[in-house]
Structure 1
Amino acid sequence: MKAVALGGGRGLHATLSALRRLTPDVSAVVTVADDGGSSGRLRRELGLLPPGDLRKALAALAGEDDENSLWATVFQHRFGGTGALAGHAVGNLVLAALLELLDDPVAALGEAARLLGVRGRVLPMCTEPLDIEADVVGLDEDPDAVRRIRGQVAVATTPGRVQRIRLHTAGEPHGAAGGVPKACAAAVTAVLEADVVLLGPGSWFTSVLPHLLVPELHEALIDTAASRIVVLNLVPQPGETAGFSPERHLDVLCEHAPRLRVDAVIADADSVSTPDRLRRAASTLGARLRLDAIASPGARERHDPAALAESLRGAFEAVRSARADG
């Protein structure tokens, strides 16, 4: 089974940890708009793709023998102290060096994957860094006044309510129309050739939806013959989706990509208070709802990889069976 997971950060890490239990043929397509922490510093200083989410995806798919496990641990190690290296992850620095030396993000990630013994591959959504811009309400005395906020960190932590996002190539002036973000060709091919494509979980506006705003990737998600599965978050994220119900996540997805059809929506049974509403929202996208126990017992805000893997297996088999019957 060829599986493709689109996202970024901890949400994508959860999906990849589950998928690797089902198939060795996994491709991660990662957002490239991070502008905070170590990634933001390297992006600003060197003009490179932000490496943090790419590093996390590589670590999630790293081989499990002793040597590869050690390298995965080293890749995730973050320096302390107060000097120039403080806050940088080793993997971020390695990826930055590979990006500079090879001048080809796909080749650089391929070399890093070889070092870590990765099963599958990691691809950037675009080969140039991007900026996220959002329309936000609730930041002024007038609750309906819309303000534009730019930057992944600013959007993820806004105390207002995000209504819509846009993508810009890095460095464009605020308010500029900007060029059309160009997708990584290998990522587009991976989506078109996949058997199953996953969106979510993760930061909805800054990790999941950006993939739908890259025209070539958007069209590939619509045209692919793969089963399309959306995995919902367990809890709303403080800031960008505070107060969101599970069905509101699907409404926003539909608003940003009205032509996208989905085969299945997976949600944690204990995280859904109104299953009928979520079922109706899923049907709007053409999807069947699957409710399973997929949260980690000791951390309700995190997905359990084994449980998520079984839910994904069941969803994929149900979609395949329904298509065969249809």
Structure 2
Amino acid sequence: MAVREDMATLIGRLAIEPMEDVSVESKALAGGSEACAVAMVTVRYRNRAGRPQVFRFVMKHLTGRPAREAEVYERLVSVHAVDVAPRLLAVERTGTDGVFLCLEAIRRTGAWPWREIRMGTVLLGRLAEFHRAAEDEAPLVPDWDYEAELQLMAEHSRAALERCRGNDDLSDLARDLPSLNRIVAALPKLRVQLLSEHPFGRRPIHGDVHSGNVLVRRRGGGDSPILLDWGRTRLASPLEDVSSLLQSLGYWEPEWRRRHDTLLAAYLSAFGMDRTLTTSVRAAYWMAGASNVLAGALLYHLGIAADHRQSPSRRRAAGIAARDALRVIRRASAWWG
């Protein structure tokens, strides 16, 4: 993403001291799937004493619905999630629906910190703190008719699984059509029940918690998890965040899957509940997991698995991920009703 000339004023506002001999370098970053572009911006300059200095920040170019992430940061994250999100540096609106979102650049401690269950427990605790702090802050969340979008994505997911009947490589996945049909048909009632489940209810959540959206940084001699990409923040059940994290990391790390119930209980404790996984908590958890699967994950994995333009290894991995997603649907179907 090229840094526009009118960003010079913005960079000047971000500087902590007067700058001379300024040069700006922009490097595109992966991730931020809903953004038009994401870049690491490096600013090199000399201060008044003539010493070379450097500061970096992340710039996201957002348009349309994803541009609401800037409002999420301004209204909600900068107040209730300061310990678990990159610091907001600036928002520059460019037109009727465009925005540049400038965020603190996070230096990660390692590429993959999730072999340690301890860090997962810390992250679940931070999530619980955010969910509790934001309980009464629904007015701070920008509008988004997520329920209508979820229903549409669920119908597309069902159609994609139907097509697997005619695919020799994926026909076995179609055995889960009865469970998927049941959940998709019941989705409006399921969502009403999930969002009224006490004490979780309907409150602001991150909305896209998975291994690709979490970094671990070192601060004050300790490691701290940081959640990225707050563009899917919405009013929903906190269990949607919890299920998304546990299912995502359980796919990659066998220990997370083995310790699944222990980690879920750790979240409940941090949320202020008894650690006991009651029948109602388990049912709500799997309903939340099914919601996540139908929000696009299953459709994405089925699309990759059926696309012969993809490499065999990528198609195989997508097929495994689709099977894992359908396992969640089977669990939800068993609990529903």
- In terms of fraction of residues, the more helix-rich structure is 2
User: TM-score w.r.t. structure 1 length?
Assistant: 0.31
Give the structure-2-normalised TM-score: 0.30
Greater C-alpha radius of gyration: 2
